[in-house]
């Protein structure tokens, strides 16, 4: 089985100790850092902008992890250059927010980043069928975006499996990322369905256990899958 990557969402981190918690996650072996950008329009929440990405960039470069920036915003084209210049290695946009998706994906690549596309839980996979040959990542939202700590939508598993089939047929090099409600108890289910990257926020950054313990719990759950 291909090594599954973990991408902790910093949205759930303690921002007073952001650098410390990010380093704890990297020490525990995560490969990516997931940055959720929300504008209060496309989703009902406001989070962070390029300055946080820029602050994380020195840590990411020094420690060899990728900055995975998820733009949950209207008119994302206006901000692609800002986020990529700030240090984004991967920029993911929503199909629902992009009128000219091919052009947006092309622009992300021209600016030097990997391009990802994502869709909300109720948006069918057919909406990414035409763009899949051109992207590096497909992100399946398993909660309605906007807030951390939500519960995984059970029907997402079947959608992930269908996405896996589509990727294998069209562009096998595409990473299949899943974001929303990922915990140790359902990580194996999601990976078994075909995910190669797991985004986890409150499952990694919480007060119940250390970051290292939480990362280890998810890794252990995945390791128990029979290849």
Structure-block tokens of residue 226 = 């029979």
User: In the predicted model, what is the mean pLDDT of residues 103-116?
Assistant: 98
pLDDT at 134 over 70: yes
pLDDT digits (tens, 9 = 90+) for 155-192: 999 999 999 999 999 999 999 999 999 999 999 999 99
The highest-level CATH class for domain 5-223 is alpha beta
Q: Where are the domains of the chain?
A: 5-223
Q: Which of 14, 36, 77, 89 is catalytic?
A: 36
Query: Helical H runs in 12-171?
Result: 18-27, 50-63, 80-86, 101-110, 156-170
Q: Which of 39, 68, 89, 179 is catalytic?
A: 179
Please say if 39 is a catalytic residue: no
Cα gap 44→23, rounded to integer Å? 29
Residue 227: its pLDDT value, please? 52
pLDDT digits (tens, 9 = 90+) for 5-61: 999 999 999 999 999 999 999 999 999 999 999 999 999 889 999 999 999 999 999
Can you spell out the DSSP letters for 174-209?
-EEEEESS--HHHHHHHHHHT-SEEEESTTTS-SSS
Residue 140: its pLDDT value, please? 98
Q: pLDDT confidence of 224, banded at 50, 70, 90? A: confident
Count of C-beta atoms within a 10 Å radius of residue 95: 15
Cα–Cα separations (whole angstroms), residue 196 to 6, 187, 221 = 9, 11, 14
Cα gap 153→94, rounded to integer Å? 18
Please say if 36 is a catalytic residue: yes
pLDDT digits (tens, 9 = 90+) for 138-151: 999 999 987 777 89
Share of the chain above pLDDT 70, in %: 98
């Amino acid at each position: 089985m291909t090594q599954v990557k973990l991408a902790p969402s910093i949205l759930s981190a303690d921002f007073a100790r952001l650098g410390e918690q990010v380093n704890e996650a990297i020490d525990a072996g995560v490969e990516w850092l997931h940055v959720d950008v929300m504008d209060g329009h496309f989703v009902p929440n406001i989070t962070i902008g390029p300055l946080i990405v820029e602050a994380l960039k020195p840590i990411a470069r020094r420690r060899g992890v990728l900055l995975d920036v998820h733009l949950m915003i209207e008119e994302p084209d206006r901000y692609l250059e800002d986020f990529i210049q700030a240090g984004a290695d991967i920029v993911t946009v929503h199909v629902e927010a992009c009128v000219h998706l091919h052009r947006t994906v092309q622009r992300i690549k021209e600016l030097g980043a990997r391009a990802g596309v994502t869709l909300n839980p109720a948006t069918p996979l057919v909406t990414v069928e035409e763009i899949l040959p051109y992207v590096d990542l497909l992100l399946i939202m398993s909660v309605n975006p906007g807030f951390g700590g939500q519960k995984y939508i059970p029907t997402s598993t079947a959608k992930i499996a269908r996405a896996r089939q589509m990727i294998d047929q069209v562009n096998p090099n595409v990473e299949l990322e899943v974001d929303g409600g990922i915990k140790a108890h359902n990580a194996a289910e999601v990976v078994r369905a075909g995910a190669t990257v797991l985004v986890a926020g409150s499952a990694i950054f919480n007060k119940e256990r250390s970051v290292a313990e939480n990362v280890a719990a998810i890794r252990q759950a995945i390791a128990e899958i029979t290849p």
